[in-house]
Amino acid sequence: MERIYFDHAATTPLHPDVQAVMAASMHDVFGNASSVHAYGREAKSAVNQARDRMAARLGCRPQELVFTSGGTESDNAALFGAAWAAWLQSGQSPHQHQHNTKPHIVTTQVEHHAVLHACERLEALGFEVTYVAPDETGFVSADKIESALRPNTCLVSVMYGNNEVGTMQPIREIGGIVRSHGILMHTDAVQALGMIPIQLNELPVDFASFSAHKVNGPKGVGALYIRTGAVWDPFLFGGNQERKRRAGTENIAGIAGFAEAVERAVSSLDEKIQQLNSIREALWTGLKDTLGDRVVWNGHSSLQLPHILNVSILDVPTETMLMNLDIAGIMAASGSACTSGSLEVSHVLEAMNLPEERKRTAVRFSFGLGNTREEAAFVAQQIATIVSRVRTRK
């Protein structure tokens, strides 16, 4: 049976060019980048070359990129790093502050758990956090973010594009407002990288998180952009790697693979966006044609990452649909990977305040390398078959 992988928002297959770069790196570069001898210098040069390549593509200075173990670490480093710096600057633990002077963070209810759970931890440490609600499409307006700001707000964290429904947030507008208040701004750009043009030097953000495995790179590698001059403190201590901002021996092959993946992901972007839009369109129209008003689009109609389609197929519960799709060799998801494992209703759909029936029947399809319109049409047909089978069983 042919398999169809429509779960690229969870992770992506390694691109053969990335694999080749990584294999060569593992074979040729084995030194520790901190060693002063020739092998060490070669390793350091490999890391710096990768950093230069990535910085050129992302529109920032090489020294503004810190390599990490992935999106989760980058998000945590941004949040804890900015929070910790605010704490140190104030000279007092957040618990010692009165309510109106406690360091305060603004984020949204639709963030990835890497941000939300980090914020919950910061609350336990005495920080105050406002979780701004989205509208029914998952969109959070700049006005809503502005109204949540307080004189003691030290950081705003809003994701660029949502991993469950694909809704994009107005980061340029939000960042502009946040900056005009003199507050630091973080964006989780893990799903946006390679899907929309990103030039960091033109974007009003101080921190941005990236992950290699979402762009046909290796798992366990990421990057945090830290704008020059942003007040931030590291949260891993040890060696002097990454200019003392992230201790630990560098994952040289992973970093080299990440740079190759980013180069591929951001080149021919227009063509790629067109191709992804066309696959999404084929699936959506295929579903609409057979299911009519029994299928509903979850997300925004235009502010939308091109690789994600989240729909509610109203007659079939999410788990039943995913199981039947899996039997047919089709891989999709119910939301973020960990949420689908635990069969909970996704916090994103919950925050969007969707009717119960839509939340119980939501499925996320996400597209990428190797997918075609023909596959999308085939998946739409298979879904129609599953729906009629489930309906007759009822």
Q: Catalytic residue positions?
A: 338
- Residue ranges in 333-352 that form contacts with ligand PLP under rule CB under 6 A: 336
Residues contacting 45, CB < 8 A, separation 6+: none
Q: Does 188 bind ligand PLP (CB under 6 A)?
A: yes
Binding-site member from 194, 222, 254, 257 for ligand PLP (CB under 6 A): 222
Q: Minimum Å distance from CB 164 to ligand PLP?
A: 8
Q: Does the footprint of ligand PLP cover residue 79 (CB under 6 A)?
A: no
Phi-psi region of 241 (alpha: psi -120 to 50; beta: other; left: phi over 0): beta
Q: Which residue number, 336 or 382, has a Cβ lying nearer to ligand PLP?
A: 336
Stretch that binds ligand PLP, among 68-76, 131-139, 322-330, 354-362 (CB under 6 A): 68-76
For 336-350, letters b (16+ CB in 10 Å) and e give beebbeeeebbbbbe
DSSP string, 159-183: -SB-TTT-BBP-HHHHHHHHHHTT-
Residue from 76, 169, 187, 211 binding ligand PLP (CB under 6 A): 211
Neighbours of 219 (CB within 10 A): 15
C-beta of 153 vs 191, nearer to ligand PLP: 191
- Count of chain residues binding ligand PLP (CB under 6 A): 15
Residue 138 in contact with ligand PLP, rule: CB under 6 A: no
Residue number with CB closer to ligand PLP (119 or 291): 119
Q: Does 134 bind ligand PLP (CB under 6 A)?
A: no
Evaluate whether 227 touches 64 at the Cβ level (below 8 Å): yes
Residue 304 engages ligand PLP in binding (rule: CB under 6 A): no
DSSP 259-327: HHHHHHHHTTHHHHHHHHHHHHHHHHHHHHHHHGGGEEEES-SSSB-TTEEEEEETTS-HHHHHHHHHH
Angle between helices 38-58 and 252-266 (to 10 degrees): 20
- For ligand PLP, what does the binding mask look like between residues 100 and 129, x meaning CB under 6 A? ------------x-x---------------
Nearest residue to ligand PLP on Cβ basis: 71
Residues that bind ligand PLP (CB under 6 A): 70-72, 75, 112, 114, 159, 163, 188, 190-191, 211, 213, 222, 336
